[in-house]
Structure 1
Amino acid sequence: MGDAGVHEARARGDGQAGDDPLTGLAGFAVVLREAGLACDAHRVQAYLAAAEQLDLADPAALYWAGRLTLCADPDDLPRYDQAFGSWFTAEPPPRSRSGARQPKQARTAALTTAERSGSGSGEDEPDELQVAASDQETLRSRDLGELTRAERAHLREMLARLRVDLPLRSSPRRRPARRGALDPARTLRMMLAAGGEPVRLARRHRARRPRRIVLLVDVSGSMSPYADSLLRFAHVVVRRAPGAVEVFTLGTRLTRVSRQLRQRDPEHAMLAAARAVPDFAGGTRLGETLRVFLDRWGQRGVARRAVVVVFSDGWERGDVSLLGEQLARTRRLAHAVLWVNPHAGRDGYAPVQSGIAAALPHIDRLLAGHSLATLERLLLEIRDA
């Protein structure tokens, strides 16, 4: 925002405010909103409540009160500093090295404050913890496609704390055990070591190993509000068992992003996946991309006895009969096929999309995937598949 706009906004505020400092602070929020910051009514209310408890003659206190309540993203900080210096005719306090690495704390605090309505400034710590827990519970049920930037930042932290229990299957290999079938080879070796006497019978049982999970994420234009959150969810699952989880994106073409999502840092993993996928927010050819997946990967072993999860709203631009045929192939190979549709969690939803109608005869479960709570239920379905 230019200096002329700041002076114009200050002139409007001074003409209406008189000596009321709160009007000047509200004018500062207007300046920030015109500069591109998401200063909604809840943030402004939290800022004014914080300012009432401060010494308004202390620029540092005003600076940090506004920064913690009015800024929702690290990209907001340079514009906030410029607007603060222009409006209050004071340089913003210098940033310390320790303060430069606190964006997550600032975003979480801003989210918690923004969700409150009519909260006072004299709350004690247990009340603040209860409010934070209530905010997290509310965010768990929010639609992933309707979150603000601050809520998305908080959601990333909650996704990182998801507990992933992988499904298990029997392995051909057998391991020593206290109970189970007789192990003749070990029993014979023990008898030889004891001079030919059968001192103890050795037992064994089948080992259990993680069952492979295949995640197919639709990244077409109709799924773009959910694609980022679903890929971050896939990153959490991949990090739990990098060797047992495969991730592909579906659009106008098929792209394998398992290697990119195996990176430990989620931001680096998402950047690598974005560079690898050339058809984000494009069209949808579910039947064709599923055929490519089965011909190149699934038939050769990736989908065999695996839990295959398709994330898509079911809008198909290609041949619907081809989609049904490829899902029938998938069902014959896989242990279980789950279809996750973000729209299935809405009231009054009916599976009338052409892709969903073709998929229903060949899938085990149709699930909702529009919120963090539904993704947690999906993890339970995968575990119990």
Structure 2
Amino acid sequence: MTTPVVNPPDAILLAFARAVRAAGVRVTADRERGYLEAVRALDITDPWAVLVAGRATLCASQDDLARHDQVYEAWFGGELARLLPAPPPVHNQPYAEIEKDADPAADDSDQDDLVTAMASATEVLRHRDIARLSQRERNALARLFAAIPVHAPTRTSPRLSAARRGRIDARATLREQVRRLGEPGPIRHRRRTDRPRRVILLIDVSGSMSAYADAFLRLAQRFVQAGGPVEVFTIGTRLTHITRALTVRDPDRALIAAGEVVPDWSGGTRLGEGLAAFLRAWGRRGPVRGAVVVIVSDGWERDQPEALGEQVRQLRTLAHRVIWVNPHRGKDGYAPVQQGMAAALPHCDDFLAGHSLATFHELSEVIGSA
């Protein structure tokens, strides 16, 4: 009798994501990666976590949710028993008032209602204002950051590299003919290739941004861990370079390391001075040229707003794209009336919200397509 072959967990999860795509859900490669990362971040031994992670990362509509659940029920009916030998644990929900019947003989309908409520609570949490979350809800939200798809924007390299197609490389073709002693050989080609474009994040950690700074640093840590050329700075009363601190793989430990480096957490705001110091050290001959620069701030400026506008104008002449993210942008009735915000906005390419996990997904897409 032979021992049955058990597929690795990632292989099973990836095959499931592709089965969902075959069922009519638009599952992209980014969503597949986000699904795998979300399951790892939650608990791969928890079937409810596997279900909720799939609903949060693979689906975009109610129809997608219905198709996903049908595939989940059919797919994991047999595979899940081998992958997860232990019975699913009971969850204490930090962000929804959900109680599961302690009776082990609870019927399947109660379990279905629990799963539906959990998925609904996760979707609601994605759109909640971070500043209004309780500490328990923030802890639950932190686990969902692993599902944000992150990839670096690209630029076309000025150098030509060998390729199967493209313009004919006369020198390489001639060298090939000489190597063959005049016998006919393949024609060599070369073309310009795409390279990752640098991303620079400037995060305001002043007192007015304290409710959102932690979440934006978690997002910055995701970009650093993605492996592309990324630099992260904090701006308050001074400029602080924190990229090295965010190279720690564990997000919570990375934020602790960043907090030990930043001396002006929840202090005053001097955006103009901070940007001026940034341009002096990293400007014309530094990595700013051709980069995607993301400024995260509510726009409150302690000094002259005209100076802030001038620094953003200079930054725009060097960078490929300047994106300003304001947590208040997504709130009803908001208008950029702050003097600093009004002075900087004409020199920005994009003005985005940044108050919820859903807006972080949007920001990641804008950066990746810049």
TM-score of the two chains, using structure 2 as the length reference = 0.71
Equivalent of 1:330, from 315, 333, 336? 315
Residue 257 of structure 1: CA displacement?
A: 0.3
> Is residue 237–residue 269 contact of structure 2 (8 Å, CA) maintained in 1?
yes
The number of residue pairs the alignment matches comes to 277
Is 1:286 matched up with 2:271? yes
Is 1:236 matched up with 2:229? no
> Is residue 152–residue 196 contact of structure 2 (8 Å, CA) maintained in 1?
yes
Tell me the distance in 2 between the aligned counterparts of 1:204 and 1:131. Answer: 55
Residue 212 of structure 1: CA displacement?
A: 0.3
- 2:281 is matched with 296
- 1:112-157 Cα distance to aligned partner (Å, 9 max, x none): 6x343x8766454433322221111111101111111221111111
Write the mapping of 1:52-71 to structure 2, written as runs, cut at 5 A: none
Q: Secondary structure at the match of 1:109?
A: coil
- 1:93-130 Cα distance to aligned partner (Å, 9 max, x none): xxxxxxxxxxxx88x63226x343x8766454433322
Equivalent of 2:93, from 102, 105, 110? 110
- 2:349 is matched with 364
Q: Secondary structure at the match of 2:192?
A: strand
> Is residue 115–residue 135 contact of structure 1 (8 Å, CA) maintained in 2?
no
- 1:159-211 Cα distance to aligned partner (Å, 9 max, x none): 02211021100123332222101112321222123221342211111121110
Equivalent of 1:254, from 239, 263, 266? 239
Is 1:136 matched up with 2:119? no
Equivalent AA in structure 1 for residue 135 of structure 2:
R
- 1:316 is matched with 301
Write the mapping of 1:350-361 to structure 2, written as runs, cut at 5 A: 350-361=335-346
| Identity between Structure 1 and Structure 2 (%) | 51
- Name structure 2 gaps, 5 residues minimum: 1-88
Equivalent AA in structure 2 for residue 221 of structure 1:
G
More RCO (CA 8 Å, sep 6+): 2
> Is residue 237–residue 245 contact of structure 1 (8 Å, CA) maintained in 2?
yes
Tell me the distance in 2 between the aligned counterparts of 1:342 and 1:309. Answer: 13
Q: Secondary structure at the match of 1:373?
A: helix
Tell me the distance in 1 between the aligned counterparts of 2:158 and 2:111. Answer: 55
Is 1:380 matched up with 2:365? yes
Q: Secondary structure at the match of 1:279?
A: coil
Say what the alpha-carbon RMSD is for the aligned residues.
Answer: 1.8
Residue 299 of structure 1: CA displacement?
A: 2.5
Equivalent AA in structure 2 for residue 140 of structure 1:
R
Tell me the distance in 2 between the aligned counterparts of 1:125 and 1:186. Answer: 66
- Name structure 1 gaps, 5 residues minimum: 1-104
- 1:168 is matched with 154
